[in-house]
Amino acid sequence: MYIPQKRELSIITDHWNMPYVTLDAAGIVALADLDIIARRTALSGTSRFADILVLCPGLHTQQSASGLNRGEFPACAAMTTGYAFRVENPATVAFLQSVARTGQLTTVNVEYAKSHCEEWTTIRLFCRTFPYAFCCILTVSTLIVFALLRDWWAVTSVSILMFARLCNVFVVKKRVERAGEWKGASEPGVKGDLLVLLSQDRWIRIQGAVDDLKAVTSGQWLAEMTPLESAVSALATMLVYLDAALTSNATQLGKILLLVLLIGSAGFLAIANEQTEALHMHGRVLQVQKERKSYDRRLSMAKELIDVSGRSDWALKLGLVNESDCDEKCSSANSSVIM
């Protein structure tokens, strides 16, 4: 591999020197409060070591991924048993918020990740995997260019960001492992059918095995951080702020390339998030299965689902209907359940 000589390097770097433009604060871009990485963490259900190569603004906010649901824990009812409760998993709620539409019923299926089989086409596979892979390629390529230019301050800057990502990846993986310990009593072989009422009149129907439904709706997604994990997360945050200061020592070309890396990775990771149509959570996959169905009234949707389920007690508990709204068929079904 050809390595540029010192004189050639000086010519290249001098060419990019702009006396009337300063980029001394280029590292501050990494401190932008974006939730792209946190959203990617929520969609994947955990964090992988390949994420170390994905450097975007807001990488120090990854531990706040559990707040992407904006404090919403929607009411939910099991149409097969009549029990009403709330969806306690913030990552699942954030995913449902992203796929739901006002005035429409969205049907979602949940199953084991190993049994999940999706019809892939070359175009769909390319569109879903290329943006994320390009973020990793962009980081590696930038490091190689910095090394060839012998801009060791720029190499140090990128290395610090990668180490900060490593710290956060470690913490997220540990939090996910501890959170998956409790998911309620097992009910093997039992099928479930849930109706989730999101804000802004968005309705979600989740179907699948009861054990799979519990895995994505109950318990915790990210456990509370231990003192050690809090210290590691704090170290990662401080490293990102330190990196913003050290970047000023890089060359002008190095600062430009660092900006391209951060902004380009943010754009491609955002595209990857938009192309992801499934949520991976505790070994399960949650994915939209059918076309959304629109309703002019919420009561119409409730009555249709009451006819499908053969009972109305769940709708009464959610406040979707009054007893007078239930027809004779639903009333007789409820009477048989009570008896």
Alpha-carbon distance of 27 to 234, in angstroms, equals 19
**212 near 205, Cβ under 8 Å?**
no
Residue 46 is encoded by which pair of tokens?
């955990």
Amino acid at 179: A
Other beta carbons within 10 Å of 193: 20
What predicted TM-score, i.e. pTM, was given to this entire model?
A: 0.80
Chain centroid to CA 105: 22
Q: Is the pLDDT of residue 65 over 70?
A: yes
**334 near 326, Cβ under 8 Å?**
yes
**219 near 179, Cβ under 8 Å?**
yes
Residue from 266, 241, 238, 223 nearest 39 by CA: 266
**242 near 27, Cβ under 8 Å?**
no
- CB hemisphere CA count around 309 (13 angstroms): 28
Return the pLDDT at 289.
Answer: 82
Q: Strand pairing partners for 284?
A: 112, 281
Q: Is the pLDDT of residue 106 over 90?
A: yes
Which pLDDT band, with edges at 50, 70 and 90, does 202 fall under? very high
Alpha-carbon distance of 40 to 310, in angstroms, equals 39
Strand intervals (E) in 151-298? 191-198, 202-209, 278-281, 284-288, 293-294
What percent of the chain shows pLDDT beyond 70? 83
> Domain segments of the chain: what residues?
6-14+24-323
H or E element that contains 266: helix 252-275
Alpha-carbon distance of 295 to 30, in angstroms, equals 44
Residue labelled with tokens 């129907």: 205
Return the pLDDT at 55.
Answer: 92
Count how many residues are written for the chain: 339
Other beta carbons within 10 Å of 146: 25
Amino acid at 225: M
Q: Is the pLDDT of residue 333 over 50?
A: no
Report helix, strand or coil for 78. Answer: strand
Q: Is the pLDDT of residue 335 over 50?
A: no
Return the pLDDT at 219.
Answer: 79
222-232: pLDDT as tens digits: 888 999 999 99
Angle between helices 36-44 and 252-275 (to 10 degrees): 40
Alpha-carbon distance of 21 to 311, in angstroms, equals 70
Which residue did the predictor score with more confidence, 249 or 333?
249
Tell me the pairing of strands 84-86 and 202-209: unpaired
- CB hemisphere CA count around 49 (13 angstroms): 0
Alpha-carbon distance of 183 to 147, in angstroms, equals 49
Q: Is the pLDDT of residue 207 over 90?
A: yes
Return the pLDDT at 6.
Answer: 53
